[in-house]
Amino acid sequence: MKILTTSLAVLALAGLATPTLAQGYYDGGYDRDGGTYYDRGTGDYYGGYGALYGPSFYGYPEYRGAEQHIRGEIWQAVRDDMIEREDAQALFAELQQIRQHQAREFQKHGWNLPYWDRQEIRNELNRLDREVDQIRQEP
């Protein structure tokens, strides 16, 4: 009976130790807090080496195309002498304010941006795009 009790105790301890031994040495465990980039649930929110002023947020991916389009139109307007550099800087500042709005929403909601906030950001980008288009069409 004593041998049976001892062997059951050894098996129970082995069963408890097995999941611990199955984990890798440096994988951060099951909670994944030790990871970087996408496995941490943070997407492009990265505060690793080289981040001078803390973590950086590069905007929601769904808006990057519109932002690049607006940025390209502003630079094209400058190259075509349709607007002055100071006016272009003001337009870039508006684009930066939209990016900061995205960062604030990211702090609140993470990657699960609600529909109304998504539409608000989209409307801001559309308004700025129309403004740039109007400037480029003026004689």
Q: How many domains does the chain have?
A: 1
Give the span between the Cα atoms of 17 and 20, in whole angstroms: 5
Q: What is the mean pLDDT of residues 10-26?
A: 54
Q: pLDDT digits over 46-81, tens only?
A: 444 444 444 567 889 999 999 999 999 999 999 999
Tokens linked to 105: 């929403």
Q: 70: buried, middle or exposed (CB in 10 Å: 19+, 13-18, 0-12)? A: buried
Give CA separation, 52 vs 25, 47, 56, in Å: 30, 9, 9
Q: What pTM was computed for the model?
A: 0.60
Segment 68-121, tens digit of pLDDT: 999 999 999 999 999 999 999 999 999 999 999 999 999 999 889 999 999 999
- Pick the residue with more confidence: 13 or 67? 67
Please give the residue range of the domain that contains residue 43. 2-137
